[in-house]
Amino acid sequence: MTECWWLYLLACRDGRTYTGIATDVAARFAAHSRGKGAKFTRSNPPISVLGTRAFANKSEALKAEAALKKLDRTGKLAWARSHPSNLVC
């Protein structure tokens, strides 16, 4: 079975967003919430998953992550609206 990689966008408590990739978004969200995720989310805990998108491999997910991180807040939120959280590959 092929593992799918997810690009995800989180809403954080301070009003900012966090972008990342993972093979299990729910587990990664839980890790971020416990302060075990990225340095950014340790000081800015996530409150919800705004959007997700599945990719066939890590390389594609990393490229999409880099592109999403370059967007301004308005662009990121528009991306989230067009990619609602649906964790089915």
Residue 43 sits in a domain whose CATH number is: 3.40.1440.10
Asked if residue 60 belongs to a domain, the reply is: yes
CB of 41 within 8 A of CB of 32? yes
What is the domain range of residue 26?
Answer: 5-82
Domain count, the chain: 1
Copy the structure tokens of residue 5. Answer: 């990689």
Q: Which residue has the higher pLDDT, 8 or 87?
A: 8
pLDDT tens profile 17-29: 999 999 999 999 9
The model's pTM: 0.91
Asked if residue 61 belongs to a domain, the reply is: yes
- 87 pLDDT tier (thresholds 50, 70, 90): low
Asked if residue 88 belongs to a domain, the reply is: no
Asked if residue 87 belongs to a domain, the reply is: no
Alpha-carbon Rg for the chain, nearest whole angstrom, is: 12
